[in-house]
Structure 1
Amino acid sequence: MVLQYSHEPFTNFKEEQHKKAFQESLAYVNTQLGKHYPLVINGERIETTEKKVSINPANKEEVIGSVSMANQQLAEQAMQSALQAFESWKKWKMEHRANILFRAAAIMRRRKHEFSSYLVKEAGKPWNEADADTAEAIDFLEYYARQALEMKDGASVKSRVGEYNQYHYVPLGVGIIISPFNFPLAIMAGTAVAAIVTGNTILLKPADATPVIAAKFVELMEEAGLPNGVLNFIPGKGAEIGDFLVEHPKTRFISFTGSQAVGCRIYERAAKVHPGQIWLKRVIAEMGGKDTVVVDRDADLDLAAASIVYSAFGFAGQKCSAGSRAVVHQDVYDEVLEKAVKLTKTLSVGNPEEFETYMGPVIHEASYEKIMSYIEIGKEEGKLMVGGEGDDSQGFFIQPTIFADLDENARLMQEEIFGPVVAFCKARDFDHMMKIANNTDYGLTGALISNNREHIERAREEFHVGNLYFNRGCTGAIVGYQPFGGFNMSGTDSKAGGPDYLILHMQGKTTSETF
């Protein structure tokens, strides 16, 4: 029997002792800025001439740190290291691998505010968003360790008289982990340790914008007792090492979180069999969304407005689950829009180091420029109700923005913006709501705000998303409670934090002995 685990609680910063503890951690992390982090290959620190400097998106003048960048030669060295380590790591007992995750979770829990402070500084996350990111990373460590213990003896199969059949899981091999900037601790850690605990070895390529957080995680895994070569840390340019590793004949699987364009490119390139390759590569991909909060005519309208606003503007809309579309019944449209605009005007935008800040910057200049260009498109397609302004003089700040009266096929209703912009669209009736909710290429998250039981049950069947929420926002899935992953162009519906996720990193082996 595996010990039960609920989930890591969020910190209540309204309590003075928690607030003070977080401020102390921020002060400490501010003394740690500007350090350099080398590659880690087979436990060896390797410096390169090419460096990536990580800056604070809320203060472009402040350097968080720098990392060495891998080239193809070093990527090949990391691959050979991982291949060699796999031969011994795959033989470790599952419970011994799980124990490393449990220890890592304990270390991260003790240093929770420190990791969250790095998220504030490098990713621009306000306190609550940073705290939730770290809590989710701890949850992944705990959950996947417990899942591994449940799977260590395989699955039950039938045996007949005179034979004994067993079904076990065996690891795949070397995996490439390509992690995103938006959950630079939780998703990076979750995808890495899911592969590791199941007996694989990995090459970790962190997001360009948030490599220092990944480097701190690598240090933590070493402290937890992970053997050399199991996790190789290789920041690098996608064009330089990304394609090279995806196409490498010894790569067994790729675990990717990021944009649809890059995900599709990886999927296509991973499908080609190269000389010396004796397997079909497995791809685990989470590729974003265009997520909808649907508001029924008999909904709680205050709840509806809050669900729209907080789903749209949490972490400046830089979540693949962010509610970037509000589809509202025509009878309550004006009232919900008015409430949402009023609530949006109360949100504070500024330095995420300040406790009072609700929304910090977007991640970098390229993101800022892209979002601002979509705001210009929005001015052509709809009616600007609030926001629409940006300021990149010090950091990459964009005001939370609402556009009203969008056509259901407008670009703002169809294309992933990945910023603090939400589009309002009017619907005639429930059939029309479901039609609009399903009219994108994506299918990640969605929410229905309704008190109509028939409509809730219809949406349960008809609203085609991997994560559907009733009478709450469409962000904030918790590991083990709401397994996360979507349909269509949102990816392979791999359901991170769910009961099937670890199996994606293994293959089943049947043994049958006749007596």
Structure 2
Amino acid sequence: VDPAEPSTVVALSPCCGPGQAEEAVAVALEAWPAWAATPAAQRAGVVFRAAAWMRQRRHELAALEVVEAGKPWPDADADVCEAIDFCEFYGRQMLRLDAGGQVASPAGESNALRYRGRGVGVVISPWNFPLAIPAGMVAAALVTGNAVIFKPAEQTPAVAAKLVEAFTAAGLPEGVLNFLPGLGEEVGAPLVEHPAVSFVAFTGSLSVGLGIVEAAAAHRPGQRQVKRVVAEMGGKNAVIVDADADLDQAVPIVVASAFGYSGQKCSACSRLIVVDSGGGGAEQLVERLVGRVQGLRIGHPKEMGVDIGPLIDSEAQGRVRSYVEAAGAEGKVVLARDDVPATGFFVGPTIVTDVAPDSRLATEEIFGPVLAVMLVDTFDEALDLANRTDYALTAGVVSRSPSHIERAVQELRAGNIYVNRAITGAVVGRQPFGGFGLSGVGSKAGGPDYLLQFVDPVTVSENTLRQGFAPGDGD
């Protein structure tokens, strides 16, 4: 349904079960050998054509995201563009990878490092970036010579189906990519546990991700390899505003980081740590933040100029509302906008100050437009507080002090560190994205080594001092 108008049905989707999961694995296993034997340049060509297909339908795809995922137009368009970027980037990376790794070959010996697809893999994608994230995971798995079973988020099956349509139109052979919408416990779990599945690429919540890691680690009868898991599982990200920060720069950075797509980004800022020098700068920052957020436009994302749209569904709305309702007991609520549409899964932007470092607002991933503000006396305290989380995804610092910036870069515990800019919006090939700690496991999406997670390296060593070839050996 449309999150802004839940009475509007956007699409009807099948709800597959364990039987279809078993069938999908069998189909993928049958299709995989021929696809794995397809030259890398041809596989890359399929991925490039899928990117071109999406580029030609950029506005159509963005429009679908607006109504199915509740994304404002700029966010929806950015997601489509990122999906295109992923396909093109991984296609080019595969062409480089196909050249083989650099290894030494002394006289009389030829050595080569080659890469083979692992087999049949599972891609489980989220709803908040319903085209870009699955496009990246699916393209990476396909271009490296694997067959894929794609299980999309329950909330956004229509956008996911368009991705499959793109690869089908690009000439991907039948059975290499299998679309399996359904509930996680009905489809995702059997796929992860299947002995023929060689890898799982997942983006989603910490609880589901840890369950996948645990299930994939168990060896089952008939399983011939250790499953590899690539998982991105969220964050509790902080932005530090230093005592010398330019507030004209800091305010838009924080607003964009905390309230873009209503805070429904794993990279979003949910903790603002302000170094209070005692000169009134912290109070001025909060005052200006409140003023800026009060001016954000809330409404249906199909309307141009809307800044804050709905949350994805009623469950998300209820969860975020519970944090807002409890905020008064955990700090001082300086802004809690309630001027939201009567229908739809809306929650107004909320800013809470004087938040204790060990409170729920400061420690739990909210995934909504709620910002916890904490004041500290020194930059040392700011760094310590920013790192006081088991997540390690994104972090930011706004400062004019070169020494403080360098310390932040060296000491912040995060996979992506941003200096004097928003902490969301990583660009493929420019800011490879991904964290560590409880934020995930695996290499960074959009980075030069991401494809290595989907292949097995094979070393080939040949003695070149052999005594000719066998007579008549031309087969």
Shorter-chain TM-score bucket reads over 0.9
Match of 1:102 in 2: 48
Amino acid in the other structure paired with 1:502: L
Correspondent of 1:300 among 228, 246, 259 = 246
8 Å CA contact retained: 1:166, 1:511? yes
Say if 1:64 and 1:113 are closer, same or farther in 2 by CA, change over 3 A: same
Q: Distance in 2 between matches of 1:441 and 1:432?
A: 17
| Other-structure match for 1:325 | 271
Q: Is residue 144–residue 197 contact of structure 1 (8 Å, CA) maintained in 2?
A: yes
The answer as to 2:104 corresponding to 1:158 is yes
TM-score (norm 2): 0.96
The SS at the match of 2:128 is coil
Match of 1:256 in 2: 202
Contact 2:298 2:307 in 1 (8 A): yes
The answer to whether the Cα contact below 8 Å between 1:466 and 1:493 also exists between their aligned partners in 2 is: no
Checking the alignment, whether the CA contact within 8 Å between 1:82 and 1:174 is kept in structure 2 is yes
CA–CA separation in structure 2 for the residues paired with 1:243 and 1:311? 33
User: Runs of 4+ in structure 1 displaced over 3 angstroms?
Assistant: 388-393
Distance 1:484 1:390 in 2: 35
Aligned match for 1:205, one of 151, 155, 162:
151
Which of 211, 220, 227 pairs up with 1:274? Answer: 220
Q: How does 1:151-190 map to 2 (within 5 A)?
A: 151-190=97-136
Is the CA contact (8 Å cut-off) linking 1:347 and 1:359 kept in structure 2?
A: yes
Structure of larger gyration radius: 2
- Structure 1 residue corresponding to 2:431, chosen from 470, 482, 485: 482
Paired residues of 2:180 and 2:187 also in contact (CA < 8 A): no
Query: TM-score, with normalisation over the residues of structure 1?
Result: 0.88
Q: Is the 8 A contact 2:396 2:418 kept in 1?
A: yes
What amino acid maps onto 2:24 in structure 1?
Answer: A
Tell me which amino acid in the other structure corresponds to 1:140.
F
Q: Is the 8 A contact 1:175 1:254 kept in 2?
A: yes
Task: Tell me how far 1:391 sits from its aligned partner.
Answer: 5.5
Contact residue 294 and residue 337 of structure 2 kept, 8 A: no
Give the Cα separation in 2 of the matches to 1:342 and 1:201. 51
C-alpha distance in 2 between matches for 1:401 and 1:182: 20
One-letter code aligned to 1:182: N
Q: Is the 8 A contact 2:200 2:229 kept in 1?
A: yes
Q: Which amino acid aligns with 1:350?
A: G
SS in 1 for 2:171: coil
- Equivalent position amino acid for 1:250 in 2: A
* 1:65 aligned residue: 11
SS of the residue 1:398 aligns to: coil
Secondary structure, aligned partner of 1:155: coil
1:118 matches 2:64: yes
> Which residue identity does 1:266 align to in structure 2?
I
Tell me the distance in 2 between the aligned counterparts of 1:491 and 1:82. 27
- Output the CA distance in 2 between the equivalents of 1:64 and 1:323: 30
Superposed CA RMSD:
1.0
CA–CA separation in structure 1 for the residues paired with 2:407 and 2:178: 47
Report the counterpart of residue 456 of structure 1 in structure 2: 405
The corresponding residue for 2:93 is 147
Match of 2:30 in 1: 84
**What SS does the aligned partner of 2:8 have?**
strand
- Provide the C-alpha distance between the structure 2 equivalents of 1:513 and 1:193, rounded to a whole number of angstroms: 33
Within a 5 Å distance, the mapping from 1:409-420 to structure 2 comes to 409-420=358-369
Alpha-carbon offset, residue 390 of structure 1: 7.8
Amino acid at match of 1:303: Q
Map 1:333-412 to 2 at 5 A.
333-387=282-336, 389=338, 393-412=342-361
Secondary structure in 1 aligned to 2:10? strand
| Alignment correspondent of 2:471 | none
Q: Matches of 1:69 and 1:376 in 2, distance apart?
A: 35
Please name the residue that 2:449 is paired with: 500
- Residues 302 and 339, structure 1, Cα contact 8 Å, conserved in 2: no
Q: Does the residue aligned with 2:12 lie in a helix, a strand or coil?
A: strand
Bigger mean CA deviation after superposition, 384-393 or 61-70: 384-393
TM-aligned CA deviation for residue 226 of structure 1: 0.7
- The SS at the match of 2:150 is strand
Task: Quote the offset at 1:227 in angstroms.
Answer: 0.7
Determine if contact 1:402/1:424 at 8 Å carries over to the other structure. yes
* CA 1:131–1:463: 2 relative to 1, 3 Å: same
Q: Give unmatched runs, 5+ long, in structure 2.
A: 466-475
Whichever residue aligns with residue 504 of structure 1, its letter is: Q
Q: Aligned partners of 1:274, 1:72: CA distance in 2, in Å?
A: 17
1:128 aligns with 74
1:158 maps to amino acid = A
1:188-199 counterparts in 2 under 5 A?
Answer: 188-199=134-145
* Matched-pair contact (CA < 8 Å) for 1:290–1:416: yes
Specify the code of the residue in structure 2 equivalent to 1:305: V
Residue 242 of structure 1 corresponds to which residue in structure 2? 188
Please report how far the alpha carbon of residue 494 of structure 1 lies from its aligned counterpart in structure 2 after TM superposition.
2.3
Secondary structure of the residue that 2:287 maps to in structure 1?
helix
Mapping of residues 415-426 of structure 1, within 5 Å: 415-426=364-375
How big is the shift at 1:499?
A: 0.4
Q: What is the SS of the residue equivalent to 1:305?
A: helix
- Provide the secondary structure at the position in 2 that maps to 1:66: coil
Partner secondary structure for residue 272 of structure 2: strand
1:310 partner amino acid: A
1:37 aligned residue: none
Please give the alpha-carbon distance, in whole angstroms, between the structure 2 residues aligned to 1:182 and 1:284: 18
- 1:313 paired residue number: 259
Q: Secondary structure at the match of 2:107?
A: coil
CA distance in 1: counterparts of 2:17 and 2:358, whole angstroms: 43
What is residue 438 of structure 1 aligned with on the other side? 387
2:237 matches 1:291? yes
Structure 1 residue 392, shift from structure 2 partner: 7.5
Asked if structure 2 preserves the Cα contact closer than 8 Å seen for 1:390 and 1:397, the reply is no
Structure 1 pair 94–390 and aligned structure 2 pair: CA distance change class (3 A): farther
Measured in 1, the distance between the counterparts of 2:105 and 2:428 equals: 35
Whole-angstrom CA distance in 2 between matches of 1:66 and 1:393? 25
CA deviations over 1:288-318 (Å, ceiling 9, x no partner): 0001110001111121111111101100000
Write the letter of the residue equivalent to 2:217: A
Q: CA deviation at 1:433?
A: 0.5
Identity of aligned residues (%): 48
User: Given that residues 285 and 494 in structure 1 are in contact (C-alpha distance below 8 angstroms), is that contact kept between their aligned partners in structure 2?
Assistant: no
Q: Secondary structure at the match of 1:432?
A: helix
Mean Cα deviation higher: 376-385 or 111-120: 376-385
Q: Is the 8 A contact 1:372 1:390 kept in 2?
A: no
Q: 3-state DSSP class of the match of 1:508?
A: strand
Tell me how far apart the structure 2 counterparts of residues 379 and 173 of structure 1 sit (CA, whole Å).
Answer: 52
Question: 2:392, 2:437 within 8 Å by CA — same for their partners in 1?
Answer: yes
Inter-partner Cα distance in structure 2 for 1:188 and 1:435:
35
Tell me, what secondary structure is at the counterpart of 1:348?
A: coil
Alpha carbons 1:378, 1:403 under 8 Å: kept: yes
The answer to whether the Cα contact below 8 Å between 2:164 and 2:179 also exists between their aligned partners in 1 is yes
Deviations 1:161-187 (A, max 9, x none): 211110001110111100000000000
Q: Distance in 2 between matches of 1:397 and 1:137?
A: 27
Measured after TM superposition, the shift of residue 389 of structure 1 is 3.5
Partner of 2:469: none
